[in-house]
A and B are shown apart, each in its own frame.
Chain A
Amino acid sequence: MANVPTPEELLKINYSMPDKGWMDMKPVFKDGNFCYPGKPDVIKEIGFPNPREWSPKDDDWQLPENWMEILHDGMKDRLERYRSFKIFMDICVRCGACADKCHFFIGGGDPKNMPVLRAELLRSIYRKEFTTAGKILGKLAGARPLTQDVVKEWFYYFYQCTECRRCSLYCPYGIDTAEVTMMARELLHLLGININWIMEPVRNCNRMGNHLGIQPHAFKDIVEFLCEDIEEVTGIKIDPPINEKGHEILFITPSGDVFADPGVYTFMGYLMLFHELGLDYTLSTYASEGGNFGLFTSHEMMKKLNAKMYAEAERLGSKWILGGECGHMWRVINQYMDTHNGPAPFLEVPKNPITGTVFENARQTKMVHITEFTADLIKHDKIRLDPSRNDHLRVTFHDSCNPARGMGLFDEPRYVIKNAVRNYFDMPPSTIREHTYCCAGGSGLNTDEIMEIRMRGGLPRGNALRHVQREHDVNMMSCICAIDRATLIPLADYWAPGVGICGVHELVGNALIMKGEKKRTMDLRQEELPGMEGE
Chain B
Amino acid sequence: MSFFISFLLVLAFGSLAYLGVESGYKLMFAAIIPYVAVGVFVFGFVYKLIDWARSPVPFRIPTTGGQQKSLDWIKTDYLDNPPNKGWTVGRMILEILTFRSLFRNTSMNLRWQDGEPRVVYYSEKWLWLFALAFHYCFLVIFIRHFRFFMEPVPLLVQGAEFFDGILEIGAPRLYQTDLIIIAALLFLLLRRIFDNKVRYISLLSDYFPLFLLLSIVGTGLWMRYFAKTDIVGVKQMTMSLVQFNPVIVDSVGAIFYMHLFFVSILLIYFPFSKLMHMGGVFLSPTRNLPNDSRMKHHVNPWNPPKKYHTYEAYEDDFREVMVEAGLPVEKQPEETPETKAEAE
Chain A interface (Cβ < 8 Å from any Cβ of B): 7, 11, 13, 15-18, 22, 79-87, 90-97, 99-101, 106, 111, 114, 116-117, 120, 131-133, 140-142, 165, 168-176, 179, 206-209, 215-217, 220-221, 242-245, 285-286, 299-300, 303-305, 307-308, 311-312, 315, 333-343, 357, 359-365, 367, 372, 375-376, 379, 404-412, 415, 428, 430, 433-434, 459-460, 463-464, 466-467, 470
Contact = CB atoms under 8 A, between A and B. Distances in A.
B74 to A, nearest CB: 5
Contact of A339 (B60, B63, B101): B60
B182 interface: no
A405 B63 contact: yes
A334 B285 contact: no
Give the most central of A140, A245, A340, A404: most B CB within 10 Å: A140
B274 A305 contact: no
A216 B329 CA distance: 11
B201 A120 contact: yes
B327 A285 contact: yes
A407 B294 CA distance: 10
A173 B294 contact: no
A492 B130 CA distance: 40
**10 A-B pairs with least C-beta separation:** A408-B68, A91-B280, A217-B325, A408-B64, A174-B286, A307-B308, A17-B200, A430-B121, A174-B287, A408-B81
A467 B118 CA distance: 8
Contacts of A83: 52-53, 55-57, 283, 285
A216 B65 contact: no
B283 A106 contact: no
A425 B325 CA distance: 45
A97 B279 CA distance: 20
B127 interface: yes
A106 B107 CA distance: 11
Contact of A216 (B54, B66, B325): B325
B340 interface: no
A507 to B, nearest CB: 19
Contacts of A216: 318, 321-322, 325, 327
B52 A169 contact: no
B272 interface: yes
A358 to B, nearest CB: 10
Contact of A463 (B73, B119, B286, B304): B119
B11 interface: no
A365 B60 CA distance: 13
A81 B58 contact: yes
B204 interface: yes
B200 A22 contact: yes
B121 to A, nearest CB: 4
27 contacts: A11-B110, A82-B55, A82-B57, A84-B61, A90-B52, A97-B105, A106-B110, A106-B119, A111-B201, A117-B200, A140-B2, A176-B286, A207-B309, A207-B314, A208-B314, A217-B321, A285-B322, A308-B309, A335-B293, A361-B83, A363-B296, A364-B295, A408-B77, A415-B74, A434-B66, A459-B117, A470-B116
Given A17-B199, A335-B59, A363-B295, A170 B105 contact: yes
A414 to B, nearest CB: 10
Interface of B: 2, 5, 48, 51-61, 63-71, 73-75, 77, 80-81, 83, 95, 99, 101-102, 104-108, 110, 116-119, 121, 127, 131, 195-206, 272-274, 276-277, 280-281, 283-287, 291, 293-300, 302-304, 306-311, 314-315, 317-318, 321-322, 324-328
A466 B55 contact: no
A133 B284 contact: no
Contacts of B297: 338-339, 342-343, 364
Given A82-B58, A84-B57, A286 B314 contact: yes
A94 B201 contact: yes
B303 A132 contact: no
